[in-house]
Amino acid sequence: MEQGESGRKAVRRWRPPEASLSADVYERLHQVATDERRDLHSQARPFGVIVMDALERHADRLQSAWKLDPTPAAGSLFVRPAASAVPRRRRHVRPPRSIPLSGIDETNSEVLDKLAQDWGAPTRSALVEQALRYEFELDGQDSLA
């Protein structure tokens, strides 16, 4: 470890991973977290735990959300990605919100990034957003454009 100006060893401080969410998904996540804090008090889940629960609950759908069907659709010459999955780049009607995934430790952060890679999600944020869309039943394309 490096030494700081005071001569003490600088401690590497770990920070939870972050995700960028569309405004509608963020608003729903914030509402769920607020409701839990009001109703469950000390048992309320932080954002990161809500995300991990959504990932576990919707793992089957998420594993195939970004997979290409190797054959073109009838009447098409090209293979197309699933239109329902969060794409790499999006235009937002309202600015996205960047949130810390509090409650996700260093080990689970690595698992999250590995899942994004293994499942073909373009980014960690895309995986998190898609899991929350499934969890909150926000499958509409409103903010995916």
d(CA 102, CA 141): 27
Q: State mean pLDDT over 64-83.
A: 76
Q: Which residue has the higher pLDDT, 67 or 49?
A: 49
**pLDDT (0 to 100) of residue 90:** 62
Quick: pLDDT tens for 87-103: 656 666 789 999 999 99
Report helix, strand or coil for 131: helix
For 3, 9, 11, 59, 143, the CA distances from 6, given in Å and listed in that order, are: 8, 9, 13, 48, 49
Q: Report percent pLDDT > 90 for the chain.
A: 63
User: Residues 6 or more apart from 74 whose CB is under 8 A from it?
Assistant: none
Residue 145 binned pLDDT confidence (cut-offs 50, 70, 90): very low
Q: Where are the domains of the chain?
A: 18-70+84-135
Cα dihedral value 118, 121, 124, 125, nearest 10: -160
For residue 5, the model assigns a pLDDT of 61
- The pLDDT mean for the chain works out to 87
Higher pLDDT, 84 or 109: 109
Lowest mean pLDDT of 8-17, 62-71, 73-82, name the range.
73-82
